[in-house]
Amino acid sequence: MSLDNLTSNWSKLRVQRPQPDQYKDAPYKWGMVIDLDACTGCNACTTACYAENNLPVVGKERFLAGQQMHWLRIERYWGEGTEPTQEFPEQGAQFLPMMCQQCEAAPCEIVCPVGATHHTPDGLNSQVYNRCVGSRYCSANCPYKVRYFNWYNYPESAWPSPLEQQLNPDVTVRSKGVMEKCTFCVQRLTEAKSKARTEKRTVRDGEVLTACAQACPTSAIHFGNLADPTSQVAEMWKAQQVELSAYPQEKDEQREKDEQVAKNNEEVVRGYRVLEELRTYPSVVYLERIRSTEV
Amino acid sequence: MTPHAHDDHEHEVATEARFVIKPKDINEEISWAQINEDVLSSLERPRPLYWVIFFGSLAAFCWGVYCEIYQYNTGLGVASLENPQVWGLYIATFIFWIGMSHSGTLLSAILLLMHADWRKPIYRFAEAMTTFSLMTAGLFVLVHLGRIWEFYYVVAYPSERWTWPNFSSPLVWDATAIGTYLTTSIIFLYFGMIPDLAICRDKAHGFRRLFYRVMSVGWKGTDWQWANFRVTYLTLACLLIPLAVSVHSIVATDFAVSQQPGWHTTSFPPYFVAGALYSGCAAIITLFIILRYTFRFEQYMTIPILEKLAKLTFAISMVWTYLNLIEYASVWYGTDSYAKDALIFRATGTYAGWWWAMNILASVVPFAMTFKAVRTHIPTMMVVSLLLNLGMWIERFMIVTPTFAHGYYPWTWTGNWWPNWVQIGIIIGSFGWFTMLFMLFCKIFPSVSMYEVKEMVYHRIRARKKTAPQPAPIVQPAQS
C-alpha cells in the first residue's frame, strides 16, 4: 500500500515551491515583518523564545564553543559611519534579529534524508523531532545557519531542579542528537487554529502572536497571516512591495521613485528578505534601518 | 616465416610480448607448484612486521572505539562539533574512505576488461582494500549520525507507518549506492577467490580444511565449472564498474546538490571520481610495498609491476589536477561571488596552509614519479604514496571545512575551528579498523591470486615461444 502510495504520488515528491497563488485559497500562511529601525537590540525576544520554547541554557563554556541553542539570535553589525571607538567598543551597533526564515523553497527540506523537515500546509517549515536521525545535512545546507543541533542531552543539565517546573508543557523537550529550530511558535498557532475551528471561523489578525513578537517592547516584530489580505502583516508586505513567490523583488526602480517622493513623504520602500538572491523565498521581511545620516 | 592462423587472443599476447616486455613482470620460469607453495606460505608465518602492524592497528582501533563510546554516551558535542561546523572530519574522512575503495575496482574490473595481465598478482588485495574501505566508510556514516540507533530510517524499507526516506536527498542515494557497491564488491571478491580457496582446502588440515571446504563451495576445477566461472566473473566485473563510478558521483552530489558556496559545482562528480581513483592507487602502492615485505611476495609483486602502478597513479593524478584546476577556474571566472569568496578564503584564510599543502602534495609531488629511479625504488615509492594519500585526505578536509567556516552568512563565519581529540581519535581508529581487517584478510585468504598468476606465466611462456626466433631456412646452393 505504501509502495502504491509512493508510485502513484511520486510527482508530489518534487513539488516546486513557491507556486504563484499557492496560498490563494489556503486559510493560513504565516509571515513576519521585522522593523530594524525599531529594534533596540534589547534581547527581550530571545529571552521570550527561551521561555516559550524550552530552549536549554547551555552555559558560557558551550556557548563560546558554538554549541548554543538560541532559535532567535540578535546579531550585531557595525557599518560605515558607525564604527566603534576605543572608548565605546560597542557604539553604533546595528541589530538584526535572526531566526528560521521559514523559506518557501527551503534548502533544508530537500536534503533531509528521512523527511524530518518538511513544509506544512500553512507555510511553515516544520521539524519532526521523532523522525530526525541527526545527519545535520539540513544545517549544512541552510544559508542562514539558523538550525541548532542538540550536541548534548541538554534536559539532563539545562534545568536543574526545580527549574524543570517552569518548562512550557505545550512544547516537547528535545533529546540528544536531533536538530531543532524556530517554529514560529507552532504550539500557539495550533491552539489558536483549533479554537477558531470550534467557533467556525479563521484566526483573526492579532489573535495569535509568536513569543518574540509579544515580548518586543518596541513592536519591531509583526506576525500574522499572509493569506488574509487584510491582516497587518499582509498589508506591510504589500506596502513594501514584497511578494512571496516573486523573484527578483522588483523594487529598485520603485525605490528610486519613492526616494524622490520621500523628500515630502515619509514612507520609503525599505523591505527586503535576507539572501533573496538564493531564491529561498523566506517568509520574513526585514525593514531596513534608516540611519541618522540619511534622515 | 610462413603465415599461419592462430586465434586472436594468442596473437594479442604475442604482440604484447614482442614489444612490451623489457624487464619481466614475473619470473616465467616459476613452476605452478612453486606458486602454490609461495602463496600458501603467506597463510602460515609472515615476517614479524606483520604482527607489529596487526597489533598496532588493533590498538588504534580500540582507541577509536573508546572515543566513539565516549561520544555516543555524552553526545556529539564532545567532538568539538558546533554550529555551523556541523560535519567536521567525519564527513571528510568518509569521502576519503569511499575514494580509497575505487582503485580496487579499477585494478580488478577495468583492467580485467582491458586485458592488462600485469594486474593479476595484485588485484586480489586491491579488491580486498575496496571492500574494507567501504566498510570503514559505512562506519563513518554511523559515527556521524546524531541518533545512531535510528540509522535505518535512511534506508528504504517497508514500514507499517508508510514512511519512506526522502528520495530527493542525496544522503538516501548515498545509502543505497554504498550498500549496493559494498554487496557487489564482497561478492566479486569472494567469487574470484573460489578456485584459490579450493587450493587452500586441498593443502590444509584440521579445522582449517573444514573452513576452506565450506568456503570453496565444492570447486573441483572441471571444465564446466571454469566455463561458468569465467562468464560470471566477467559479468560481475561489468556490473561493478558503473557501480563504482556512480557511488562516488553520488557522494559528490552530497555537496554539489547543496546550495553552499564552494560545493555547488557541477564538475564535482568527475572531480570526485578522479580523486577517488587517485587516492586509491596511492593506497594500493602503500599496501603493495607492505605486503611484498611482510609476506615475502618479492617473486610476484615485482618492481616492474610497481613501476606500472606508479605510471598509472601519475596519469590519474594529472587527470585529478586538471579537474581541480578547472574547478578553481570555473569559480574564479564565474559570477558567483560567494563561491569566489570561499575560494579566496581557502587560499588565504585560516586553512591556507592546509590548502597549499594539499595542492603541493597532490599535484606537484606526483611529478617525482616521472623519474624511473623513483618509480623503481621501494622506500621512495612508500614515502611518495603516503604523501599522495595525505594530500588527498587534506583535499577532502578542504572541501568540507572551509565552506562551513565561510558560508553565505557573515554572522556565522568562524575563523578558528579545529577538530579535537575525539574526532582525531575516531579517525585514527578507522585507520586501525581498516588495517586490522585487511591484515586479517591477508592472513586467512590468499592475497595473491594463484590461478591467475599461473595463467599469466602460462600465457607469457606461450607468447615467448611464438615469438622465439625461427631457425633460418637452409638455402640450398643452386647446383647444376
For residue A14, is it within any domain? no
- pLDDT value for A240: 82
- pLDDT value for A256: 62
Is B73 near chain A, with CB under 8 Å? no
Contact B259 A152 (CB under 8 A): no
Locate the DSSP E strands across chain A.
Answer: 30-35, 73-77, 94-98, 117-119, 125-127, 148-149, 179-180, 221-225, 271-272, 284-287
State the CB neighbour count (10 A cutoff) for residue B474.
6
For residue B61, is it within any domain? yes
- pLDDT value for B17: 54
- Domain of A253 in residue numbering reads as 26-287
Q: Give, rounded to a whole angstrom, the gap between the first and last alpha carbons of chain A.
A: 64
Which residues are bridge partners to A35 per DSSP? A287
Query: Which has the minimum average pLDDT: A83-87, A198-202, B74-78, B136-140?
Result: A83-87
Burial class (CB in 10 A: 0-12, 13-18, 19+), B69: exposed
- Domain of B135 in residue numbering reads as 8-465
**Which CATH number belongs to the domain containing residue A113 in this structure?**
3.30.70.20
- The DSSP secondary structure of B155-179, one letter per residue, reads S----TT-----TTSHHHHHHHHHH
Contact B75 A152 (CB under 8 A): yes
Alpha carbon A249 to its chain centroid, in Å, reads 19
For residue A13, is it within any domain? no
Contact A113 B404 (CB under 8 A): no
CA distances, B322 to each of B3, B140, B363, B444 (Å): 46, 29, 9, 41
Q: Which residues of A touch B86 (CB under 8 A)?
A: 136, 139-140, 149
The predicted-structure confidence for A11-35, as pLDDT tens digits, reads as follows: 665 556 777 677 878 899 999 999 9
Helix (H, G, I), strand (E, B) or coil at A98: strand
The predicted-structure confidence for B55-89, as pLDDT tens digits, reads as follows: 999 999 999 999 999 999 999 989 989 888 999 89
Mean pLDDT of chain B: 88
Out of B82, B87, B154, the one facing A140 most closely (by C-beta) is B87
For residue A21, is it within any domain? no
All residues at 6 or more sequence positions from A40 whose CB lies less than 8 Å from its CB, including other chains: A95, A217, A218, A220
Helices B123-144, B268-294: inter-axial angle, 10-degree rounding: 120
For residue A276, is it within any domain? yes
**From the CA of B164, how many Å to the nearest CA of chain A?**
7
For residue A145, is it within any domain? yes
- Kindly tell me if the per-residue pLDDT of A6 is higher than 80: no
Distance CA B122, CA B287 (A): 10
Q: What is the DSSP letter of A176?
A: T
- pLDDT value for B235: 92
**From the CA of A148, how many Å to the nearest CA of chain B?**
7
Query: Which has the minimum average pLDDT: A154-158, B186-190, B353-357?
Result: A154-158
Long-range Cβ contact pairs of B320-326 (< 8 A, separation 24 or more): B320/B271, B320/B274, B320/B275, B320/B277, B320/B278, B320/B362, B320/B363, B321/B362, B321/B363, B321/B366, B323/B267, B323/B270, B323/B271, B323/B274, B323/B275, B324/B271, B324/B359, B324/B362, B324/B363, B326/B267, B326/B271
The predicted-structure confidence for B436-469, as pLDDT tens digits, reads as follows: 999 999 999 999 999 989 988 888 888 877 776 6
pLDDT > 90: what percent of chain B? 59
pLDDT > 90: what percent of chain A? 53
Place of cell 616521472: B370
The predicted-structure confidence for A212-250, as pLDDT tens digits, reads as follows: 999 999 999 999 999 998 999 999 988 887 877 766 555
Mutate to test the interface with A, among B141, B406, B411 (most CBs of A within 10 A): B411
For residue B480, is it within any domain? no
Contact A133 B412 (CB under 8 A): no
Contact A131 B154 (CB under 8 A): no
Work out the pLDDT band at A259, boundaries 50, 70, 90.
Answer: low
Tell me, what's the ipTM? 0.86
For residue B476, is it within any domain? no
Query: What's the angle, vertex CA B379, arms to CA B376 and CA B385, rounded to 5?
Result: 85
What's the total number of domains in chain A?
1
The predicted-structure confidence for A114-151, as pLDDT tens digits, reads as follows: 989 988 888 899 999 999 999 999 999 999 999 999 99
For the residues B86-99, what does the mean pLDDT come to?
A: 92
- pLDDT value for A269: 77
- Kindly tell me if the per-residue pLDDT of A277 is higher than 70: yes
Q: Nearest-CA neighbor of A171 among A104, A28, A159?
A: A159
Q: Which residues of A touch B83 (CB under 8 A)?
A: 66-68, 139, 145, 147-149
The predicted-structure confidence for B146-172, as pLDDT tens digits, reads as follows: 999 999 998 888 878 778 888 889 999
Is B150 near chain A, with CB under 8 Å? yes
For residue A121, is it within any domain? yes
For the residues B324-330, what does the mean pLDDT come to?
A: 92
**Which CATH number belongs to the domain containing residue B281 in this structure?**
1.20.1630.10
Q: Which residues of B touch A278 (CB under 8 A)?
A: 259, 408
- pLDDT value for B475: 64
- pLDDT value for B44: 86
- Kindly tell me if the per-residue pLDDT of A273 is higher than 70: yes
- pLDDT value for B5: 47
Closest chain B residue to the Cα of A144, Cα to Cα:
B409
Q: What is the DSSP letter of A74?
A: E
Contact A278 B408 (CB under 8 A): yes
Distance CA B405, CA B414 (A): 5
- pLDDT value for A11: 64
- pLDDT value for A279: 85
- pLDDT value for B476: 65
Contact B146 A136 (CB under 8 A): yes
Contact A150 B75 (CB under 8 A): yes
Out of B76, B145, B168, the one facing A110 most closely (by C-beta) is B168
For residue B2, is it within any domain? no
Is B221 near chain A, with CB under 8 Å? no
For residue A20, is it within any domain? no
More confident residue, B110 or B192: B192
Q: Nearest-CA neighbor of B60 among B442, B431, B439?
A: B431
Query: Which has the minimum average pLDDT: A13-22, B91-100, B268-277, B306-315?
Result: A13-22
- pLDDT value for B3: 45
Distance CA B90, CA B96 (A): 10
- pLDDT value for B469: 64
- Kindly tell me if the per-residue pLDDT of B33 is higher than 50: yes
What's the total number of domains in chain B?
1
For residue A9, is it within any domain? no
- Kindly tell me if the per-residue pLDDT of A261 is higher than 70: no
